[in-house]
Amino acid sequence: MNPNAPSSDRPIVVVCGATGYLGRHVVKALHRDGWHVRALARDASRLGDAAQYCDDVFIGHPTDPSTLDGLFDGADAAFSSIGVRSFRRCPSFRDVDQAANLSLVDAAESAGVNRFVFVSVLQADELRDQSPLLDAREHVVDRLRSGPMNATIIRPTGFFNDLIAFLDMAKRGRIWLIGNDTTRINPIHGADLADVIAETLASDDITDRTVGGPDILSQADIAAAAFDAAGRPPRVTRVPSRLVHTFGRLISPINPNAGANLQMFAIMGKRNMVGDPVGTHHLTDEFQARRTSTEPAPATP
């Protein structure tokens, strides 16, 4: 923690995952709403422009509980969205999505924190037996349910940041889709979800929230928007969900993160993932805003 951080009569909230896509938006939203924001970070430089909205920064590693001593001292509330979304082998999703978040819950509870908001995934409670990644996050939900803190679980659909992969594929000339086109999703922008989280922390209502963005889209809709932004003719290849799920299970012993992510993608390729619509940001606008972020890659043969 920054020993030079100014004292404040404002309620203190600890934001875990502050350096990530969602966490940066949460830091800004809570600062705007008058909270004293304490951000957990392994490296303060990774906060980017969100650093200006942090009242103090606690340097620690959530996978190492010994580095968390004092993180929640004097805190009124806590938030965590920490998780692994990389296909790299280490650290594993069990180390981060599950164990690290459980360590944060334990530390917050020991410090007497009253309020904890945790981000899981839409329908993860129903699908945990089909996806080890979802199961890992639901272990944290189970722990919060059994503890004394007033906990709210936020269950969003896909983030805009994740769906930029469609734009990247479109720039290369081909988009690969999982499953058929009967399913729908309403992806949500980080700023819109941050507003939901800020609203939740400001309220005494601890009811869980299932949320998505304002637009309900098919995979074909998302692909079309990506090709339009990329200025490429549409070329789509579909892969059966069952094939992706099987491949994910096969590679899990070698690369647990890649396997777990593929299994989760396969599930979401065959189910509607539509949450309560909120917000004002539209995925088509996001694609258009990012269309010139990189030069288009050579077309896929």
Sheet holding 115-119, edge to edge: 56-59, 36-41, 12-16, 77-80, 115-119, 150-156, 209-212, 276-277
pLDDT score for 296: 39
pLDDT score for 139: 97
pLDDT score for 153: 98
Question: Residues 211, 158: contact at Cβ < 8 Å?
Answer: no
Question: Residues 206, 152: contact at Cβ < 8 Å?
Answer: yes
Strands 217-218, 184-185: parallel, antiparallel or unpaired by DSSP?
Answer: antiparallel
pLDDT score for 89: 76
Reading the block at residue 73, the tokens are: 């001292």
- First-to-last alpha carbon distance for the chain, in angstroms, is 52
User: Mind listing the domains of the chain with CATH numbers?
Assistant: 12-158+188-212 (3.40.50.720)
**Distances 80 to 8, 24, 42, 184, 274 between C-alpha atoms, Å:** 22, 12, 14, 27, 22
The series of mean pLDDT values per 10 residues for the chain, 301 residues long, is 52 96 97 97 92 96 95 98 83 94 98 97 92 94 97 96 94 93 94 98 95 96 97 95 92 89 86 95 95 48 28
pLDDT score for 279: 96
